[in-house]
Amino acid sequence: MATVPLTPVDRVEILSLMDNSLDVLMASTPVARRAKLGPDPYLRPQLRAEHGVSMLITVARAGRRDALLFDTGVSPDGVLHNLEVLERSLHDIRALVLSHGHTDHTGGIQGMLARYARWRLPILVHPDAFLKRRQVREGEITNLIPPSRADLEREGIELVVETGPTFLLERQVLITGQIPRTTPFEQGMPTQQAWVDGEWRPDPWIHDDQAIVIHLRDKGLVVLTGCGHAGVINTIRAARQLTGVEPVHAVIGGFHLTGSLFEPVIEPTVAALKAIGPRVLVPQHCTGWKAQLRLAQELPEAYIPNSVGTTLVLDAQAP
């Protein structure tokens, strides 16, 4: 894998527009700025938590700020609702990045297209994100509805469909593309199937799972995952190899360590993260309570619990 230079930035802000967790009384920290209640919080619409992810990411460099959206949550109106409560909008974002094609990350697209008429920003996506998929376990089937490529193309959306790494915002943001699977313990999702050539076929690897990587000047990489189906350790390894930057300052997003299939992966993942030593660790969404507990125990200085409406503020080293 060839190294690709990534422009360092002065600040990264990550606003959690959707996550599984909401705690309006959670205290702020120097890194995590919680949403303010205001004088009449119970007379106004409340923030909403759902089984999904969406982050508004802003990078700042040399006095300029640029923003992009990472995933859209599961429901057509969930992220839009939270934007209204937070008095924010998506008018000025430069792009939408989809971590993968599962519904809990792409379900909000149609609502956004309806709200922001003639949305003309590019959408970056791996080609497998458009596969029709399902989970089959113990006789139960759960359909995973992908975004419709035909519908997006009809809307005139610019689709950037790539398997390899791509850049955004003047090479300040790297989209990893397909992530190599190199650890012995991150083995994908064995219960997943994809509809290919007229039949359901095993699709455990979820090759469309990709992450966002940003280089915070003098501190290291900021790695953002959607579900982390590629494995959070595989993802960090790929980020290091792609950028040639070894220090990892922050790891934020879903680690997919919940449920009986994935709980055996918790301990090797925690051990590997402890060895990597990020200064900021914010597990979200599908990480699960058992993994959250172990991460909090083993990396107490780095661990920060998330809540919808939280803005994570990561600043570069002062000159």
Q: Where are the domains of the chain?
A: 11-36+50-315
C-alpha to C-alpha distance for 314 and 59, rounded to whole angstroms: 10
pLDDT band at 183 (very low <50, low <70, confident <90, very high): very high
- What pLDDT was estimated at residue 170? 93
- Domain covering 11-36+50-315: architecture: 4-Layer Sandwich (3.60)
**Beta-carbon contacts of residue 301 (< 8 Å; ≥ 6 apart):** 279
pLDDT band at 6 (very low <50, low <70, confident <90, very high): very high
pTM: 0.97
- What pLDDT was estimated at residue 319? 66
- What pLDDT was estimated at residue 260? 94
47-96 pLDDT, tens digit each: 999 999 999 999 999 999 999 999 999 999 999 999 999 999 999 999 99
Average pLDDT over residues 138-143: 93
Query: How many other CB atoms sit within 10 Å of the CB of residue 49?
Result: 18
Ordered DSSP codes for 31-60: SEEPPP--S-TTTSPPP---S--EEEEEEE
> Strand (E) positions, 80-197?
96-97, 123-125, 133-137, 140-144, 159-161, 166-168, 173-175, 192-196
291-307 pLDDT, tens digit each: 999 999 999 999 999 99
- What pLDDT was estimated at residue 214? 98
Q: What is the DSSP letter of 117?
A: T
8-51 pLDDT, tens digit each: 999 999 999 999 999 999 999 999 999 998 888 888 899 999 99
Compute CA distances 200 → 132, 207, 213, whole Å: 9, 17, 33
pLDDT band at 318 (very low <50, low <70, confident <90, very high): confident
- What pLDDT was estimated at residue 129? 98
Query: Does 133 score more than 70 pLDDT?
Result: yes
Query: Does 181 score more than 70 pLDDT?
Result: yes
**Beta-carbon contacts of residue 285 (< 8 Å; ≥ 6 apart):** 19, 20, 51, 52, 53, 104, 226, 227, 253, 254
Residue holding tokens 């967790």?
21
Average pLDDT in the chain: 95
Let me know: does 57 contact 69? Beta carbons within 8 Å. yes
pLDDT band at 1 (very low <50, low <70, confident <90, very high): low
